[in-house]
Structure 1
Amino acid sequence: MKNTKLKSNIEYIKKNYFLYLLIAPAVILTIIFKYVPMYGAIIAFKDFSTIKGILGSEWVGFKHFEDFLTSPNFEVIFMSTLKLSLYGLLLGFPVPIILALMLNQVRRNAIKKNAQLILYAPNFISVVVIVGMLFIFLSPTGPINHIISFMTGKPVMFMSEPEYFRSIYILSGIWQAAGWSSIVYVAALANVDPELHNAATIDGANILQRIIHIDLPTLKPLMAIIFILGAGGIMAIGFEKAYLMQTSMNIPASEILPTYVYKVGLQAGDYAYSTAVGLFNSVINVILLVVVNFVVKKLNEGEGLY
């Protein structure tokens, strides 16, 4: 039985070898850049020395993890990362869905295409440019502070005060990514049978009722998968934007795990300690992915990521 199945699989591969050749570059690149570097994670458990190399360095076990967990910076950095990611997920998750539902109600193709162009465009703006725009618009002499100064008599130091950092980071991220993220929802809604909406309209259902009872059930499985993936990467927040937005005044809110790893690892040269911090971050992400997938499957009638 096993030999027959093996022969059948070999014949299938021979018959469709061109398909395997097509995906071979992607598989090879994934192995080289994703799996091979995992070997380097071993330095998190060693007193790594560039002269001795990975294998020659002394094994120290969980020392670097203990140093990080007991450091005075741990709670501040961990909570800053968690809050920034969690608030970003909770506030940003429904926006693409709302945009997709709104676009789905537009019947004139010309208006719909122009709206999509405007909504998708921010995604193609560089993070560096986005942060530059934030510094210009929110500077003490910027246009927003001109209005605030006219109304209150003094400007607000948006980019210096820690309490404004998370709001600026999250809202600018939603503005940049929401339109592009709505594409998958728009594509899913395109598969909804128009006859369902016609029948509901004949029965007297208004737009809101059709969205609740027809569109949202269609998007439900997709929403579950995207939410699980978002929650699984909740600690994998982007480094570039947070680092570019950092100032000496907003460090209490802007110092997160990725920026901390960069400063300790690349700037200070403590590669073993920074690897341990990065590995800790990855483990937290895996745990969150498993837990959120389990909870969503329980609440979503068995539908989850896996």
Structure 2
Amino acid sequence: MTRALAMMSGGLDSTLAAKLIKDQNIEVIGICFKSYFFGEDNAKRMCKQIGIRLEVIDFSVEHFEMVKNPKHGRGKNMNPCIDCHAMMMRYSGELLKKFDADFILTGEVLNQRPMSQNKQALNTVKNESGFSDKILRPLCALNLEPTEMELSGLVDRNKLLDISGRSRKAQMELAEKWNITDYPSPAGGCKLTEPNYSVRLKEALDRNGDLTAKEIYLLRFGRHFLTKSGTKIIVSRTGEEGEIIKKALNKEDTVFLPSSHMGALGVIQGQASEEDAIIAARITARYSKGKDADVVTIKSGKFGTEFKDIFDIKPATDEEINEYLIQGK
């Protein structure tokens, strides 16, 4: 039986492409790539809806190395889509032998994204993957030259599609036809496409040159500030978010908590000067219930230890917040 590996982003397009090939009596195995910037949750949900198994491939370390210096540049934010797709295809190609599969399929649609899915970009991705003769794009195949799989009869080209452009009408009609109802928005789950996250990541890379897995993870949460000395401060936006942040901390991190008022969790990663600790305390106070008070009491100490440092402090002003806030730069 013919077998294909479907690159599953977790979005609607890749799901429809997999379903289209599955309906040609071809066994389809979903392949989802996991990194610091996207995960497998949506892909699991989508594979379940169309009844195919999913294999999750964690390529976080290699992917981050590429993100730091992508050969083909980035999109609107920090997303290196051409390099990312080529890397995924290379990994998928290397998995063909492991899963005894005949070819790779993707949900890419010609001209859906002007920079990363025009014909030149699609060809670049295909050629740089190292497996150009094993890649099929079922949703837009009729707009492209026939592949080896179509010419050899492994896949019936007459049952493939000619979707093109940014409209989602054809995909939504197919989803309704196939009773695929639970799918995410087209924006997808990649943090590199999000403007605020991209600003934080770029700032951190420009400042440090590299980041740990923990530092990358914490970019997702809270408000991020940078003092004049280069000390990073993170302040949670909600109690729930504060609990998430706590799970990533260790005894190297300094925590700031309001004790006179309910409020935010503040964090400095690593060592900080007394001046920076005061700034962190004032910013934390600003996001407490005492933001309009003359004085807020903030307790501070290394995470997981007794908090012995006490700051009776005036909350930061809006001007100071804007001065230190990374997103505002």
Determine if the TM-score, normalized by the shorter chain, exceeds 0.5: no
TM-score bracket for the superposition, by shorter chain length: under 0.3
Which structure is richer in relative contact order (CA contacts within 8 A, separation 6 or more)? 1
User: TM-score w.r.t. structure 1 length?
Assistant: 0.23
Task: Please state which structure has a larger fraction of its residues in strand.
Answer: 2
Q: Which has the higher helix share?
A: 1
